[in-house]
Amino acid sequence: MNVKSAYVRPALILAIGLVLGLAALGYQLGSSALSIKEYERTVTVKGLSEREEAADVVLWPIRVIAADNDLTALYNKLESDMQVIQTFLTREGLSPDAITLSAPTVVDKLAQQYGGPAEVPFRYSASQTLTVYSYEVENTRRIMGEIATLGKQGIVISQDDYRGAVQYLFLRLNDIKPEMVEEATMNARSVAQKFAEDSQSRLGKIKRASQGQFSISDRDANTPYIKKIRVVSTVEYYLSD
């Protein structure tokens, strides 16, 4: 063996080893890239949970109005009317703690006139609001239908929709949140599973998920004491072949 052959042979072996190593490395990198690309295939779906619940609190303002030319008589009239209403409400089963009174508001019509005096039947008009805040929604609704009978006693209850609107509240949201979130997530998974089957894929794990805001609204204009609770969850799943 000459000196030249002694140097060429190891170099050739080293070169072949480098080529094979680079080829193997390239294959591994390519395979990894394909695996990563495949692993990043996802589908994003939304799941809905919706239910109806009865309101658990009613807020009922009862606004009484009166008019008179004598200010003292007017105040006495308001005081008497409020006492009659409170007696009526407690007799019908409402707790006195559920009833609050606002201060009366009195308007002097002569003091508000401009451009000279005008003839008015009563100089003073007044209003006062009694507010019921009750957890006994059904009983309070029943009483609402009967309070008109107080009109026979000379009590004028304003039907102003703006200041006398009844409000129904739902305060038990935290009690039903976990179940609704679970239901929305399950609905989202059902949709994602159907998409995976249609695309001949397999549904993987959750990549990310977000819960939307809970919304509470009246079921309709005629039944505001029935609330519709709604939440939408957005979930992104991995897909694989």
- Could you tell me the mean pLDDT of each successive run of 10 residues in the chain, 241 residues long? 53 54 47 49 94 97 96 96 97 96 93 64 94 97 94 88 86 96 95 92 92 94 96 94 79
Q: Is 45 helix (H, G, I), strand (E, B) or coil?
A: strand
Q: Which residue has the tokens 């009195």?
A: 106
The per-residue pLDDT for 236 is 94
CA quadruple 172, 177, 179, 183: dihedral, nearest 10: 130
The per-residue pLDDT for 114 is 60
The per-residue pLDDT for 11 is 55
The per-residue pLDDT for 159 is 76
How does pLDDT run across 31-71, given as a tens digit for each residue? Answer: 444 444 455 789 999 999 999 999 999 999 999 999 999 99
What does the buried/exposed string (b/e) look like for 180-208 if buried means 16 or more CB atoms within 10 Å of the residue's CB? Answer: bbebbbebbbebbeebbeeeebebbeeee
The per-residue pLDDT for 26 is 47
The per-residue pLDDT for 117 is 55
Q: Cα–Cα distance between 136 and 59 in angstroms, integer?
A: 11
Q: Does domain 42-55+171-241 have CATH number 3.40.640.10?
A: no
The per-residue pLDDT for 17 is 52
CB 104 within 8 A of CB 80: no
User: In CATH, which of 3.30.70.2970, 3.40.50.2000, 3.40.50.150, 3.40.50.2300 is domain 57-169?
Assistant: 3.30.70.2970
The per-residue pLDDT for 162 is 72
pTM value? Answer: 0.76
Cα–Cα separations (whole angstroms), residue 50 to 170, 183, 218, 233, 234? 15, 9, 13, 12, 15
